[in-house]
Amino acid sequence: MGFYGKQPVTPEKCSAVYVWTGLGEPGFFSVYVEGDAQNYSYGFDLVRDPHFVGGLRIDAMGWTGPLGKGTTPYKVSGTFPGMFRSEIIISGSNGNFTIPVKEIPHDQVEEYIKSKQLETV
């Protein structure tokens, strides 16, 4: 039986962008996290820490078990509404990491979404 908890993250491979949705409107953060999780891990997810009051902290979560030797790379992404912050915190089992946030202006959102769709093909 597996257990649910924080997963290790590779800070250099994490990124965040803030997408402005319109003038005078709050946007959302699009967060991408990568790491190497203990074998056998699955069900990766990003979860906003509801108790953190200093901005935005995202926990990299997943299920692990049964335990096996070695690690497996994983990638996970998520979106979170909120007001712009120039940095956010990604929290994993190996620590908390501050990462910069890139801004996508409201007039470039369509191009950004199209570029993300092309990456998944």
Distance CA 63, CA 111 (A): 35
Distance CA 103, CA 50 (A): 23
Domain of residue 7: give its range: 3-120
> Which pLDDT value is given to residue 121?
54
Q: How many domains does the chain have?
A: 1
pTM greater than the 0.85 cutoff: yes
Q: Which residues of 9-32 are buried (b: 16+ CB within 10 A; e: fewer)?
A: bbbeebbbbbbbeeeeeebebbbb
> Which residues of the chain register pLDDT less than 70?
120-121
Nearest in space to 16 (alpha carbons), one of 109, 111, 101: 101
